[in-house]
Chain A
Amino acid sequence: MEYANLRRQAASLKRSLFDQGYLDEQFCQVEDLQDEASPNFAEEVVSLFFKDSARLVANIEQAMEKYPGDFNRWDAHMQQLKGSCFSIGASKMSNECTSFRNSCAEENAEGCRRSFQKVKREHAILRQKLESYFQLLRQAGPARTATRSGGK
């Protein structure tokens, strides 16, 4: 059955996201909130995350350009992004946010720039992988229970 195959592919992709450290347990907690009343809740949360995180990344980029050396400001913006990462279990991205904040604490501008590039890279990768995951789930359709084929 195509449905079963797509579900298997989605499950495999999700497993790899955990195995490779892109996601942690918090993502499962988000998916567990899904129910009949909110069947697409996880996708809605992830969509909101990427909308908000894109804004936050742009804010950080702007802050680094307009306020060079203002590590407190840079840190404040990155803290918001890190908080957002926490909410969906985006652990790799969250770790890169921490690296950036550590560089801010050390007033290491070059370290901040390097970390920020990594944050953006992880953001793009995670976005692509989660889009693929939810696309597979959408193609598979809602979970179905097994039915006995009709007979005479």
Chain B
Amino acid sequence: MTTSTVQGSPVKALIVEDTPVHAFILSTILRKFHCEITVAENGNEAVQLFLEGKKFDIIFCDKEMPVMPGPEAIEKIRALGESHVKIVGVSAGYDLEQSFMSAGADIFLPKPMKFDVVGPIIQEVMNKKNNSMV
């Protein structure tokens, strides 16, 4: 896996995932791209972070989680006016894509996640962030 040269402030990534192993693996991948990482264990925790005024550039969100599932959390986050944050829905089963996209996700990645697809997504977010700072 190749990583690009980091310019500007790091991408702030929120991982919304109740499976510790998934969260650990994705965190490791994102660290290779020098992302600042926050992990929420369910959709409700994710929404609370936004209500506390936290800002993120990208969210990786699982679907089935205790307390609040992913699509519901995405709907609530978008309803808070967070239109700029890139939201990636992540779940097993291609038939779950629609529920993520209807909720306001930008991309759907099926599990098991192919790690080499994460890099271009982060690079795109990084480029957009750096361009907006110019």
Interface positions of A (Cβ within 8 A of B): 26, 29-30, 32-33, 38, 41, 44-45, 48-49, 52, 76, 79-80, 82-84, 86-89
Main SS of the interface on chain A?
A: helix
Q: Would you call the interface of chain B mostly helix, strand, loop, or mixed? A: mixed
Contact of A41 among B28, B62, B112 (CB under 8 A): B28
Asked whether A83 and B19 contact (CB < 8 A) given A26-B112, A33-B115, A89-B112, the answer is yes
Ranked 8 nearest A-B pairs via Cβ:
A87-B21, A26-B112, A83-B19, A87-B22, A86-B112, A49-B21, A52-B20, A84-B19
Q: Which residues of A contact B107 (CB under 8 A)?
A: none
Which B51-107 residues sit within 8 Å CB-CB of chain A?
A: 62, 64, 66, 92
Contacts of A32 in B (CB 8 A): 1, 115
User: A52: which B residues are within 8 A, CB to CB?
Assistant: 19-21
In Å, the complex CA distance between A80 and B64 comes to: 8
A83 touching B114, Cβ below 8 Å: no
Q: Which residues of A contact B115 (CB under 8 A)?
A: 29, 32-33
- B28 contacts A33, CB within 8 Å? yes
- Interface residue? B6 (CB, 8 A): no
- What is the bound-complex CA distance between A82 and B111, given in angstroms? 11
A45 surroundings in chain B (CB, below 8 A):
21, 24-25
| Residues of the B chain whose Cβ atoms lie less than 8 Å from the Cβ of A38 | 28
CA distance A83 to B26 in the complex (A): 14
In the complex, A45 Cα to B20 Cα: how many Å? 10
